[in-house]
Amino acid sequence: MATKQSVWSPQYLLTTIGIFSVVVLTAFESLAVTTIMPAVSAELSGSTLYGLVFAMTYATGVIGMVAAGSWSDRRGPRGPLFAALSVFAVGLLLAGAANSMTLLVMARAIQGVGSGAISVVIYVLLARIYPKQLLPKIFAAFSVAWAVPSVVGPFIAGVIADHLHWRWVFLGVLILLPIALLLMLPGIRANAAQMGPGNAGAPWGKRLLWAFAAALATLVLGLAAQFSGLIAVALVVVGLGGVVLSVRPLLPAGTLRAQRGLPSVILMRGMLAAAFFSAEVYLVLALVKRYGLSPTAAGLALTVGGISWTVASVTQSRLTEQVSHQRAVQGGSISLCFSLVLVVISVLFGAPAPVLIVAWIFAGAGMGFGLARLSTMGLSQASKSNQGAISSAMSMIDSIGAAAALAVVGVVFGTLSAQPGEAAVAGIWPVIGTLAISAAIAVVGVFISYRTGPDKSLMTE
């Protein structure tokens, strides 16, 4: 009977819909802000703080992730769930009411804490409520939950900003958030026995201090893009050093050394996020600079990649018996690596633009296949006593990996752009340089993917 269960079965239906709704709302808010920020900046006269609106959310998200993970392990996930949604709601309310860019940045900082905590608590709830064999399927549903807002979210946000007001992008999510929570409550009550403390003695004080340090280092990385020259390089070096020092105590032992088993599972997530999201930005730039495509046409590549991500994630959920978790991760990392190497070669030798768009299909597919199984592997190797810690590690390394890679390639792009040379050459080599770094990260990721197999000394029942 267990093999025929579905995340849409009666006992999971409302919980699945509720969690799905929360993911959709947080995804929509995250993506919509990019669309409305020009209007927000113009009204609040805050162009100097434009980048900080985004960087602050990523930075404070680390604090929310670590706090929610420790709290979930010590007291169970119910309290952290209500707290995370409440903090996120307060951030939405303040953002919707902000009358200056400074207040908006503060609101976004609060939102970051809430959204970071939400991502971790949801992982813990999945581990507590759903059997392990259903995890790949629920993560496939999450891919759909992100794909839908990525396709229609910017358009909806634009319509709201044009015909109502940009404030209603924040306030609209705030209104819908309690509905998603109400849908989740029956499942939480039905699994009350699984909602208790996992490890009442789990450490939290030092972890929070390290989380604040990691948040500060992440913020420094995010701000590096606002500068150029030696200042940008210095910020990246300081930020990377701070990240390495501060996240080490927050990750499973051996993660930064790619130790076999769970540590490599965690690290692999960061490698995938770093390679994909750093390449995504400059792929569009390559299509515009090298091939003269309009931003709309260049954005087609991102849409195609998002669709292939979703399709691959759904596909992997149906192949759990045919393809092992590690094989799926290996296949995903190889697909992403192939895509990025092909993109670099294509841009270098001037292959037709459709080649890049087709190549990006493999990047999205690699992420869809790999991330879902990595999430499953991480939660499957967690016990009730450390589900929060492992969930926070997975969420945190996704965010920090992407932020670190974007900071590095941003500095490389700025440095190469400042070099003298003919306009055509000077215009394309910075793009090639950044894409090559993303491809190199993906190559390293392929090797790490072969170390994600189970380490029996770390496995728990």
Of 17-26, 286-295, 424-433, the one with minimum mean pLDDT is: 424-433
Alpha carbon distance 440, 148 (integer Å) = 30
- pLDDT (tens digit per residue) in 383-423: 877 888 999 999 999 989 988 888 888 888 877 777 665 54
Using CA atoms, how far apart are residues 107 and 57, in angstroms rounded to an integer? 9
Q: Give the model confidence (pLDDT) of 305-340 as tens digits.
A: 888 998 998 898 888 888 888 999 999 999 999 999
Most confident of 150-154, 232-236, 315-319, 444-448: 444-448
Q: Could you read off the pLDDT of 217-250 as tens digits, one per residue?
A: 988 888 887 777 788 889 999 999 999 999 999 9
Rounded to the nearest 10°, the torsion over CA 147, 367, 235, 116 is: 50
CA 150 to chain centre: 13
Angle between helices 101-129 and 353-380 (to 10 degrees): 60
Question: What token pair was written down for 237?
Answer: 């070096």
Q: What is the mean pLDDT of residues 108-132?
A: 91
Q: Kindly give the interhelix angle for 101-129 and 78-97, rounded to the nearest 10 degrees.
A: 160
Q: How many residues does the chain have?
A: 461
Q: What is the CA radius of gyration of the chain?
A: 21
Could you tell me the two tokens for 304? 């195609």
- What are the tens digits of pLDDT across the range 11-25? 888 888 888 888 888
Q: Which residues contact 147 (CB under 8 A, 6 or more apart)?
A: 306, 307, 309, 310
In percent, the amount of the chain with pLDDT more than 70 equals 92
CA triplet 271, 274, 280: central angle to 5 degrees?
Answer: 135
Question: Which residue ranges form the domains of the chain, and what is each CATH number?
Answer: 1-202 (1.20.1250.20), 213-250 (no CATH), 257-456 (1.20.1250.20)
CA–CA separation, 404 vs 217, rounded Å? 10
Tokens of 382: 């967690």
Contact between 95 and 107 under an 8 Å Cβ cutoff? The reply is yes
What is the model's pLDDT at position 112? 92
Q: Which residue has the higher pLDDT, 159 or 5?
A: 159
pLDDT at 53 over 60: yes
